[in-house]
Structure 1
Amino acid sequence: MIENIIVDAPTLGAVAGWLLAFVLHATLLLAAVWAVERLGGLKHPGGAELAWRTALLGAFLSVTLNMLPSRSNPWPQRSSAATTGIASPDIAAVAASAMPERIAPEVVASEAVATNAVASQIAAPHIAAPQIPAPNIAMPVMARASERSALSLRLPNDLALALLALWSLGAAIALALTLRQCAALLRLRRRFAREGESAGAALQAQVRTLAAEMRIAAPTLRLLPNLPSPLVLPGAVLLPRWSEALDPVQQRAMLAHELAHLHRRDPLWRPLQRMALVPLFFHPLAWHAVRRLETLAETLCDQAAVERTGDGRALAECLAECLARGFEPRGAGWALAMAERPGGIVGRVHDLLETSTMKLSNIPKRRLWIAAFAVLLLLVALPAVMVATRPGLVTDALRPHALSITINQHGETYTMRSSAPAPGEILRVSIDGDVAFDDAERDVARMEPGAEFEIEQRRGGVTRHLRVTSGAKGLQREFEIDGAARPFDAAAAAWLASAIPEIYRISGLHAEKRAKRILERGGAEALLAEIALLKSDFVRAGYLGQFFVLAEADAVQTGRALALMREIDSDYEKRRALEAAVSRPALSAEHQSGLLAIAAGMDSDFERAEWLIEAATRIPTDGANTVHWMRALRGFSSDFERKRALQALIEDGQPRPLAVAIALRAMRGMESDFERRQVLETAADTGIPLAHADYLAAIDAMSSDFERREALVALIRSDDPDLERSHAILRSVRTMSSDHERGEVLNALASAMPNDPALIDDYRAVARQMSDFERGQAEKALDRFYRG
């Protein structure tokens, strides 16, 4: 048995691709805005702010657009390829078809290629250890370079790992510093709550007036000792004590500036912009963008203050006062200080005094929409980055594996690693470039120039190593035994011929092509014999899937395939094989029952439910299948998963009345009243006449009167109850404790039950056990029998 298999999906290359694409996009956007501004194209502060903000944050959106997934087919389509290419042009598609679409606990992903996103959550085949149920997740298969514009890079694993390690270290330090600023903001809030004093009446009046003019909520206004400059926090404005000595015009200018920050939501934009620096901590243009954005925010707030006061002199005097009071060396962090950088204040004062009105027109909305559309087109057009990683010394040293198969072709890498099939054995295979084996699976058939095939195997204490390259004189072979060079003779060729099928059997690669070739050579018998040799659950499931899709098998051969399916330990892989089998047309009733029996033996409730939901549309419930449906449905320990399977059978099972009856009987043993009630409501909604004995038996097993009431009312509304059903419903109502829930059921029953004196007496006997109010309502519901 092959244990602890690790299929390396696109992770290391994917993360490297995502990071490089992110840096590339950010650089292009930031450099474009910097160049336009340097050439005088962004004179309006509002336009400049929009451009810099888009450049700083746009890369996050562009790489997200580039990583949008497409859903892959669980089984590959038919192919007519004549030559078996161990490294086909579409390795990602092969991996998608061969491997599970969810992540199992033992999977470790690494060394693969992707575009600029962390792609493909491909799980490892699991053989020995039991699987933990997990929801099915559709695997995103990233678009290849042929499908969208992309830049392709090939990096050794060691280099990619080193780059990612350095970036991670720098990003962690940047994140720590950013979180430190966040902590400083929280300390400042606690300080103003503890030490802050209420501002005077004049300042409070000014704030209320300005807030009304700007149509924002009036913020909390506090005076804080030893504060050199006004500060803005979310929902609060902190003022230094000296602000009370300013004249009213200066106070209005100062407060208008601070409220403009709140109106523009700057206390939220600043943390977001600082956080955007974390992944771009090394980028000088990103730091420049943040500084420009914070300067532009002050300029626009200065403009808003001038518009409220009609003159820039009052605000300039406030800035001069801040300049005279000094500054906090480390700046305001996430808080917004009116005068944070001494060097910028001089320029702001100059602008305020030189341009007394400082009036800037608003940017028309039409231009903003046009700019937004243009930016979206630009972000979509930015190229993806594909990184193909190759095995390196560091990663191999960190994760040594006795079994390793690596295929690298056309910017895509597929690596499978595991422990050895037997103690002391080694099998390592590396294919770089377009390499194909012959149809007999005995030798290398062709290689593109520059391609390389390498295999090392230790078995029986002997280590054999073969390296094949493509040169001007054709294929060049370098063969060694225990480290000594040997000629590639007939014995070496026989060894290679035995190793090539093993590569296929362990990796599961190109299962469709190989299964088709085996069928053409020896029919269903040959494919079944090959499947019996497969030890990996995930590889066996893949080949069984091809058997049911491609093979023209008789009843005996199909039965043998089901027997091979029972030997699969992994419930997930067993479900994959079952899905392929149930999709086979003209499956006999005997084999349908066999599939249900296999499903009944699954330990994973999730995998069993997933397959039964699919089987409900394909396997009828009559005949011999009835007992197998019952066994499969009753074996659940999870009421939620049983409910899903029961509802699917009720809605899709055929023949429908029998399917509903089976579902009602299979509810026995469920503990959750909520799940039980939902199944009963689904059955009632079908409009099919229900066997009320089974329905009411499920209701009587409930402990919640609310759930019982809902299920009983659903039964009453599904079809007007006859005399027998009405008496049965009343017997169920007698055992309920809540008068309110009883009354709801009685009111519903009174509107639909037949006019029978004995039934009405039974109804009233139940009502007499209720409170006066509920009894009165129940009696009133009987008035329809006595009108006119």
Structure 2
Amino acid sequence: MTEPLSINAPLLLAGLSSGLLNYLLHSSLLLGGAWLIERSARLRPRQASHREALWRLAFFGPVLTAGLATLLSWSPAPTAGPLASPTATSTAIERPALPEPSDAPTATATPPMREPAPMTGAERPTRQAPAAPRAWLQLPPEASAAVAALAAAWALLAGLGLLATGLAWWRLRVQARRLPRLDDDADLHGCLQTLARSAGLPTPPLRLGRAEWPSPLIAPGGAICLPAWALQLPPAQREAVLAHELAHLRRRDPAWRLAAQLLNQLAWLQPLNRLALRRLDALAEQACDAWATARPSDAAREQARRALAESLYRCAQELQQAAHPVRRLQLLSRMAASGRSPLLARIDALMNPAPNPHGDPTMNPKPEPYTALPARELWRKRVLVGGLTLCALALPLLGVGHSQPLDLSRLRDLGHSFEARFGVGSAMGTRIVKNSPSHNLDIRLSGQMRFNEDQTALESLSQGRLLIDERREGWHRRAEFLPGEAGQAPRLIYSLDGKEQTPDAEGQAWLRDRVALAGETIEGSEKRVRSLMAQGGVARVLADIQAPALEDHRRRSRAEALLKQGRHSDSTLQTLIQVSSGIDSDFERRQLLETLIEGQALSPALQAELLNSLNNLSSDFERRQVLESLAPRLSPDTATLQAWVQAAQGMDSDFEKRSAIVELIERQGSLPSLAAALQASLSLDSDFEHRIALEAVAQKLPRQVALDAQAEAALRAYSESARRIDSDFERRIALSALLDAGVHQKTALLGVLDAARSIDSDFERAELLSALAAHLPADAELVARYRQAARGLSEHERGKVEAALDPVMDRLAQAAPAAPATPAQAAPAASAAPAAAISRLKPPSPPRPPAAPSLP
């Protein structure tokens, strides 16, 4: 059966580190070569476009060549003999005997062993190592681990740099879209249209730059942003500025600059990239200056150069007067403003042009007729292009790799522990590595193997091996099991401190424990648990689970295997809950508790004990997972619910806490569970998470008119929890959710009105009261409380609230009872009662001004 292919951490780091080293090597050669060629008087290309192409090839080319070199070097490594035994150590430390496990059989504790006969190198079985990068320049094993750690750190920092660059680009794009357009200036816009037509481009948007942008720039999206001082320039200088920026758009410099910055962030370890970026920026500015000043006559060309030079000088003045440096978000789009852009050199080149300038003819809108190059110049150009092409083709053949598959166990300072499985089909291997400053364990398993009943001995092995290597302070043990001859028991090669010998009692105890670790990793713990149950029942298994110095995953695996044997008594389950509290790994502990919850029927007392055991579970995620597993089965018992509240409130993460609360509400929905959820919601610090939890509670609250004491208490608890929300918006949404869910009993409405009085925002309070008025019955007490909640509102918001209350007042007037009276008094009395009620509810009318005295 073919096994799924999984990620191999050592090979992944090996490939990553090899790719990084290949890039550093190739980029150093190409960038250094480009610098030497440009410095050489004989090899330097005379045209700026050729020099720019040279630097682009040297800057972007190493990404392709390094990738090809890494892929070409990725092939299976040659077979290797068995690992050499470490040299004997001279340390003389008395080693205490390892404790014999209580469950170890007294007879046949180890597989048949015999002293191995001396074997030559040819007789020892060979093993196929995993695939690893193989290159012509190989690193020694001592340096491989350090390079792998460097590669991991490089990848992390490169990812952060790419994220920062992306955020800066997005921020600049958003800011540019919010800038005012400059369409009102007809002369400026007409000049831009004329220049855009000559460049063969659509007219780009023209916007007024921000005050902190002292120079023109091209924002993401192609908009030209001009500072305020550029609008005050003479027409000739403004035309030169616009022509220069359009030249950047014509050359697609913003896209090239973005790609260069992303690559620079990705390859931040290469210092020569900064040199390449400076040269590319300078060449781009020279090419744009050449296009902006291209004119048919010498006089017009001289005027254009002077205008552009004067605008650059004004830009330099603005940069010097700026109170702070240009912000990093302009890094992608600034052209002339960059600190790397030699403004003074450009001004000098414009004012004092060379007698025979070699500009970029492709930037000239009206290029001169083509003239053939001299024979010597043509020969030099062909040699240069051919040499660069051969170098680029040969670079993938030059790679850097590791001399052997990367061994993560060399990274001891990481204190790392992992289990890796790799391979396809029958070529499956497993490796267990545990590292700490004082303990190193490395177990490698491959081939087909079978263990005895309690998994303390290896019975058969074919087409592979079992290697166990462990170091502790004072001793180093190594055991290697190899296939036996003609179906016999596996052969054992055991060494202590580098000396091969027959294992003594201490060594046999060590072998049983480590073989059991390998067996449980391969086969699971069910086989061992069944064997122990046959020997001594559940008590024997519990004693084995509680053995001291047992790894967390083995303890969890044995406990899960016991739970799968069927239903167990409360005392057994209580013991397993106590066992889970002693597991240090939150992940292993959570897995055991989930198996316990899903596979066994827990009494309310056991549920409470399990919940109380979560108080020392540090991971909020793992605790939330346990609470969600228990939610469908949670007992309504008061003590159990109180334990659940304490477990939920003990989480620091509001997200995890809210998720656990919502899961309980959706799975249960009973009034006791809703009361527990509301009590737990009081500990939520995030107003958003608090509101989400209350919205879930609102969907489960009772909607019938007749309520018992428990239901009324839940409604009051809801309004009290909503009152604890600090945000007026979130509080209003939480209270409105109660109304939208159809919970319109008088107790609920009174709670909403009481909570609404604490909303400071007039708008939010008026919105809530207006929505509540649609569900308000003709009840004088509710109307009075409604008016109390509306006190202090602004005149505008008070008018909205009064308008929403008018239909309620009409219904209240119609429902007012009529007092018994004579027919003559019936009509006045009938109208007096509602009028009196209304007069008590409406605010008193303002006093009328005194009447003017009448004239005689």
Aligned residue in 1 for 2:677: 663
Aligned residue in 2 for 1:261: 248
Aligned residue in 1 for 2:575: 560
Q: In structure 2, what is the Cα distance between the partners aligned to 1:758 and 1:462? A: 84
Q: Superposition pairs for residues 620-699 of structure 1, below 5 Å?
A: 620-623=634-637, 625-636=640-651, 639-651=654-666, 653-668=667-682, 675-686=689-700, 688-689=702-703, 691-699=714-722
Aligned residue in 1 for 2:170: none
Q: Against the structure 1 CA distance between its residues 494 and 270, is the aligned structure 2 distance closer, same or farther, given a 3 Å change threshold?
A: same
Aligned residue in 2 for 1:216: 204
Q: In structure 2, what is the Cα distance between the partners aligned to 1:753 and 1:402? A: 64
- Counterpart residue identity of residue 266, structure 1: D
Q: In structure 2, what is the Cα distance between the partners aligned to 1:280 and 1:775? A: 62
Q: Per-residue CA shift, 1:517-569, capped at 9, x if unaligned?
A: 21342348355443212646642564257437744352344333222112224
Aligned residue in 1 for 2:626: 611
Answer yes or no: is the 8 Å Cα contact 2:440–2:471 preserved in 1.
yes
Q: How far is 1:416 from its partner?
A: 1.2
Pairing partner for 2:263 from 253, 276, 280: 276
- Counterpart residue identity of residue 246, structure 2: L
Q: How far is 1:236 from its partner?
A: 9.1
Tell me, yes or no, if structure 1 residue 514 matches structure 2 residue 524: yes
Q: How far is 1:626 from its partner?
A: 3.5
Given the two structures, how large is their TM-score scaled by the length of structure 2?
A: 0.52
- Counterpart residue identity of residue 712, structure 1: L
Q: In structure 1, what is the Cα distance between the partners aligned to 2:408 and 2:783? A: 85
Answer yes or no: is the 8 Å Cα contact 1:407–1:432 preserved in 2.
no
Tell me, yes or no, if structure 1 residue 596 matches structure 2 residue 619: no
Answer yes or no: is the 8 Å Cα contact 1:456–1:464 preserved in 2.
yes
Q: Per-residue CA shift, 1:393-425, capped at 9, x if unaligned?
A: 9x48x75999999999879865211355xxxxx
Between 9-18 and 678-687, the greater mean CA deviation after superposition: 9-18
Q: Superposition pairs for residues 163-202 of structure 1, below 5 Å?
A: none
Q: In structure 1, what is the Cα distance between the partners aligned to 2:248 and 2:492? A: 72
- Counterpart residue identity of residue 436, structure 2: S
**Matched position secondary structure for 2:775:** coil
Q: In structure 2, what is the Cα distance between the partners aligned to 1:64 and 1:662? A: 58
Aligned residue in 2 for 1:755: 778
Aligned residue in 2 for 1:503: 514
Q: How far is 1:515 from its partner?
A: 0.5
Pairing partner for 1:714 from 737, 749, 752: 737
Answer yes or no: is the 8 Å Cα contact 2:16–2:151 preserved in 1.
no
Q: Against the structure 1 CA distance between its residues 478 and 412, is the aligned structure 2 distance closer, same or farther, given a 3 Å change threshold?
A: closer
Which protein is bigger by CA-based radius of gyration? 2
Aligned residue in 1 for 2:593: 578
Pairing partner for 1:157 from 110, 126, 141: 141
Q: Against the structure 1 CA distance between its residues 275 and 625, is the aligned structure 2 distance closer, same or farther, given a 3 Å change threshold?
A: closer
Answer yes or no: is the 8 Å Cα contact 1:670–1:676 preserved in 2.
yes
Q: Superposition pairs for residues 302-321 of structure 1, below 5 Å?
A: none
Pairing partner for 2:18 from 17, 20, 39: 20
Answer yes or no: is the 8 Å Cα contact 2:244–2:288 preserved in 1.
yes
Q: In structure 2, what is the Cα distance between the partners aligned to 1:456 and 1:400? A: 17
Q: Superposition pairs for residues 389-468 of structure 1, below 5 Å?
A: 389-391=405-407, 395=410, 414-418=432-436, 428-429=441-442, 431=444, 434=447, 436=449, 438-439=451-452, 440-443=455-458, 445-446=460-461, 448=463, 453=467, 455=469, 466=479
**Matched position secondary structure for 1:389:** coil
- Counterpart residue identity of residue 716, structure 2: A
Structure scoring higher RCO (CA < 8 A, sep ≥ 6) equals: 1
Q: How far is 1:704 from its partner?
A: 5.6
**Matched position secondary structure for 1:533:** coil
**Matched position secondary structure for 2:546:** helix
Q: Against the structure 1 CA distance between its residues 637 and 301, is the aligned structure 2 distance closer, same or farther, given a 3 Å change threshold?
A: closer
Q: Against the structure 1 CA distance between its residues 711 and 630, is the aligned structure 2 distance closer, same or farther, given a 3 Å change threshold?
A: same
Q: How far is 1:17 from its partner?
A: 1.0
Aligned residue in 1 for 2:33: none
Tell me, yes or no, if structure 1 residue 531 matches structure 2 residue 542: no
Identity of aligned residues (%): 25
Q: In structure 1, what is the Cα distance between the partners aligned to 2:260 and 2:755? A: 64
Aligned residue in 2 for 1:70: none
Q: In structure 1, what is the Cα distance between the partners aligned to 2:791 and 2:594? A: 56
- Counterpart residue identity of residue 17, structure 1: G
Q: How far is 1:48 from its partner?
A: 12
Q: Per-residue CA shift, 1:483-509, capped at 9, x if unaligned?
A: 6x56x54xx27555422343367x788
Q: In structure 2, what is the Cα distance between the partners aligned to 1:476 and 1:517? A: 24
Q: Against the structure 1 CA distance between its residues 607 and 471, is the aligned structure 2 distance closer, same or farther, given a 3 Å change threshold?
A: closer
Aligned residue in 2 for 1:34: none
RMSD value, Cα: 6.6
Q: Against the structure 1 CA distance between its residues 572 and 161, is the aligned structure 2 distance closer, same or farther, given a 3 Å change threshold?
A: closer
Q: Which 5+ residue runs of structure 2 have no aligned equivalent?
A: 1-6, 30-48, 72-128, 159-186, 210-215, 228-232, 309-337, 371-400, 704-710, 815-856
Answer yes or no: is the 8 Å Cα contact 1:211–1:217 preserved in 2.
no
Q: Against the structure 1 CA distance between its residues 666 and 431, is the aligned structure 2 distance closer, same or farther, given a 3 Å change threshold?
A: closer
- Counterpart residue identity of residue 518, structure 1: R
Answer yes or no: is the 8 Å Cα contact 1:390–1:413 preserved in 2.
no
Q: How far is 1:751 from its partner?
A: 1.2
Answer yes or no: is the 8 Å Cα contact 2:628–2:660 preserved in 1.
yes
Q: In structure 1, what is the Cα distance between the partners aligned to 2:154 and 2:801? A: 73
Q: In structure 2, what is the Cα distance between the partners aligned to 1:497 and 1:264? A: 76
Q: In structure 2, what is the Cα distance between the partners aligned to 1:466 and 1:458? A: 15
Q: In structure 1, what is the Cα distance between the partners aligned to 2:803 and 2:690? A: 32
Given the two structures, how large is their TM-score scaled by the length of structure 1?
A: 0.56
**Matched position secondary structure for 2:599:** coil
Q: In structure 1, what is the Cα distance between the partners aligned to 2:565 and 2:404? A: 36
Q: Superposition pairs for residues 95-244 of structure 1, below 5 Å?
A: 157-161=141-145, 209-211=194-196, 214=201, 215-216=203-204
Q: In structure 2, what is the Cα distance between the partners aligned to 1:287 and 1:693? A: 66
Q: Per-residue CA shift, 1:437-456, capped at 9, x if unaligned?
A: 7434335843647x683545
- Counterpart residue identity of residue 649, structure 1: L
- Counterpart residue identity of residue 529, structure 2: L
Q: Against the structure 1 CA distance between its residues 64 and 657, is the aligned structure 2 distance closer, same or farther, given a 3 Å change threshold?
A: farther
- Counterpart residue identity of residue 682, structure 1: A
- Counterpart residue identity of residue 566, structure 2: E
Matched positions, count:
596
Answer yes or no: is the 8 Å Cα contact 1:515–1:547 preserved in 2.
yes
Q: In structure 1, what is the Cα distance between the partners aligned to 2:63 and 2:792? A: 68
Q: How far is 1:276 from its partner?
A: 3.3
Q: Against the structure 1 CA distance between its residues 738 and 302, is the aligned structure 2 distance closer, same or farther, given a 3 Å change threshold?
A: closer
- Counterpart residue identity of residue 195, structure 2: L
Q: In structure 2, what is the Cα distance between the partners aligned to 1:203 and 1:724? A: 69
Answer yes or no: is the 8 Å Cα contact 1:596–1:629 preserved in 2.
yes
Q: In structure 2, what is the Cα distance between the partners aligned to 1:774 and 1:748? A: 13
